[in-house]
Chains A and B, each alone.
Chain A
Amino acid sequence: MAKIIGGLTSSHIPAVGNAIENNLQQEPYWKRFFDGYEPAKEWLKKAAPDVVIVVYNDHGLNFFLDKVPTFALGCADIYENADEGWGLKPQAPFPGDAELSWHIAESLVEQEFDICTCQEMLVDHGFVNPLRALYGTLKEWPVKTIPLAVNVVQHPVPTAARCLKLGRALGKAIESYPEDTRVVIFGTGGMSHQLQGERAGLIDVDFDIECMDKIATEPEWFTQFSNSEIMRRTGTEGIETIMWLVMRGALQDDAKLIHKHYHAPISNTGAGVMVLENQY
């Protein structure tokens, strides 16, 4: 049977891709941020997943505003990265696992999550940068991937509560897959930030720290907030942190905290790396 080894969180901002591309990881501005990934990288190596499910949002590469699925699952054998218009170099294609994807899609729909299935899906920096931060820049990726895109760009976006429930359904879906497959789930994006408006540049370190602690130990805490409350406190783009709940929901309630790192500011954001491990 498939098994969820654990989950981790990562920022996915474009600046991370640029920093990796230009080899800036040891520069004073970036060092503390990238150092925080080292224990996560070590854990990931030991976890040795066959498949990584990346929960992220598309920023206008695969989806345009003509059709905006709230939740969309990649169901293909391969996912291409592509030009996003601002100079990030497209990365090598990511192998998929169509059989597992379709199993997840079937199970989710059975559990009343009527997900959008995608047989072609371009993956953007939201998907690519966490993988690059954790695996490096590779010509061939050592792991299969499944993109799970959440709309956090055009409101209405799903609630934190809904994301947590999706995660729980995702967990059941994965664990009912008959083949022995080791799965790790990435929850990406966040944390507090706002890119536009006179309030641009908002970062709320206190809220981010509380968020990290609660998402690890008591994720229901986050579901008390409406999306308006989350945006008011953490910025319009801070809403991305709800995607972490999809990862968290798929894990055991008592998943063990392995690693927790927070840094701010990085580009316009607060950035959290957290590793949680299921207990078997």
Chain B
Amino acid sequence: MVWTKHDYEDIPGTYVFDGKTAHESYNINKMLFTFNKEECRDEFEADPVAYCDKYGVTGDFKECVVQKDFLRMLRLGCNIYYMAKMAIPRGTSVQDAGAAFQGITTKEFQAKLQERADGLIEKLESAGGYWNG
């Protein structure tokens, strides 16, 4: 038995959420999915370990959930959107997670985003036809 290789696997610094990842992280994502509901969030809050046990979240997955180590959760294969259901209410935004991946502060991360758009207006003007370009 072998997992099929993909040509996206060598994209640097990138973890594509595919069948293999979804398979390995199924239980933890299933637990995170329940956080759409307030009563589930409250139940988790009251006893995180018991909540992990209820959803079969074990080993490294369980450890990082209990420690609220969102970066490690992502590295282990949690889906970013599902992870956000646990992280955002606890004050960790998706930008905070992105910054942590690079070992920089969120402010530095935001500055990098801004840099990506350097020369935006000139580029729009040269492409032509843009409103407010």
Contact = CB atoms under 8 A, between A and B. Distances in A.
Interface of A: 32, 35-36, 39, 59-61, 64-66, 82-87, 153-156, 194-206, 209, 213, 226-228, 231-232, 236, 257, 259-265, 267-268, 270
Contacts of A156: 18-19
Contacts of B123: 205-206, 209
Shortest beta-carbon contacts, A-B, top 7 = A198-B13, A200-B98, A85-B85, A199-B13, A86-B88, A155-B18, A203-B116
A208 B127 CA distance: 11
B54 interface: no
Contact of A60 (B6, B7, B41, B79): B79
B50 interface: no
Contacts of A194: 14
Given A153-B79, A198-B101, A236-B14, A261 B30 contact: no
20 contacts: A36-B131, A65-B29, A85-B35, A85-B84, A85-B86, A153-B79, A155-B8, A196-B98, A198-B101, A200-B99, A201-B116, A209-B123, A226-B7, A231-B8, A231-B11, A232-B11, A260-B129, A262-B124, A264-B116, A268-B113
Give chain A's interface secondary structure class: loop
Interface string B1-39: 000001110011111111100100010011011011110
B80 A199 contact: no
B66 interface: no
Given A85-B36, A213-B127, A205 B116 contact: yes
Interface in B55-88: 74, 79-82, 84-86, 88
B89 A85 contact: yes
Contact of A83 (B26, B30, B38): B38
B95 A268 contact: yes
A36 B88 CA distance: 28
Interface of B: 6-8, 11-19, 22, 26, 29-30, 32-33, 35-38, 41, 74, 79-82, 84-86, 88-89, 94-95, 97-99, 101-102, 109, 112-114, 116-117, 119-120, 123-124, 127, 129-133
A61 B98 contact: no
A201 B36 contact: no
B89 A87 contact: yes
A199 B95 contact: no
A65 B30 contact: yes
Contact of A227 (B8, B74, B94): B8
Contacts of B36: 60-61, 82-85
Contacts of B8: 155, 227-228, 231-232
Given A84-B85, A195-B80, A203 B117 contact: yes
B17 A86 contact: no
Contacts of A264: 116-117, 120
Contacts of A84: 36, 85
Contacts of A82: 36
A262 B116 contact: no
B79 A65 contact: yes
Give the most central of A64, A206, A257, A261: most B CB within 10 Å: A64
Contacts of A263: 120
Given A84-B36, A153-B17, A155-B19, A196 B113 contact: no
